[in-house]
Amino acid sequence: MQKFYIILMIVGFACNQSIKTEPATPLIRLPEMTEIKLLDLKMQPVNLENHKGKTIFINFWATWCKPCVEEMASIEKAQALMNSNEIVFLLASSEGIEEIKEFSRNHNYTFNYVHLENGEALNIQALPTTFIINPKGRIVFSEMGSRNWDETANINLIKNINNQHD
């Protein structure tokens, strides 16, 4: 009988593993927006302060990360669905700029790729990881793992963050 309850608990846990649609509660201190150090692919600093008043979606990824690459199609669709000047999509990799450029040439995405200079300082522990920064410049969403970003619930999540002006 005890084995039955253990199996039931395992099956119940496994059945609850679905694609996430709500923001995860961070277990660590989130960095400030100003702590994120990015370069564009021409090796020029990206100043996130220039996007204050907009929502910034930053997906941290790597060319060798299969879940990262698989997630990109849904990010591309979400970016197209949002089609907004109020939301900035950035895909940040700590790999070399030439590697990022090569990936960009070999994939048909319209992303704004950037190089992440300080992933360790941001405590990014797994890829992909996504930060969403609200229009006031606060990171209000942080999550490790992939999502289907083009699903209605996730589009609404981004829209709701975009409407946070407090």
- Rounded CA-CA distance 40/5 in Å is 54
What does pLDDT average to over the chain? 86
- Rounded CA-CA distance 40/43 in Å is 5
Contact 20, 145 (CB under 8 A): yes
HSE-up of 136 (CA within 13 Å, CB side)? Answer: 8
The confidence band for 166, taking pLDDT boundaries of 50, 70 and 90, is low
Token couple for 22: 């709500």
Domains of the chain by start residue, with CATH: 32-162 (3.40.30.10)
pLDDT attached to residue 84: 82
- Rounded CA-CA distance 108/4 in Å is 50
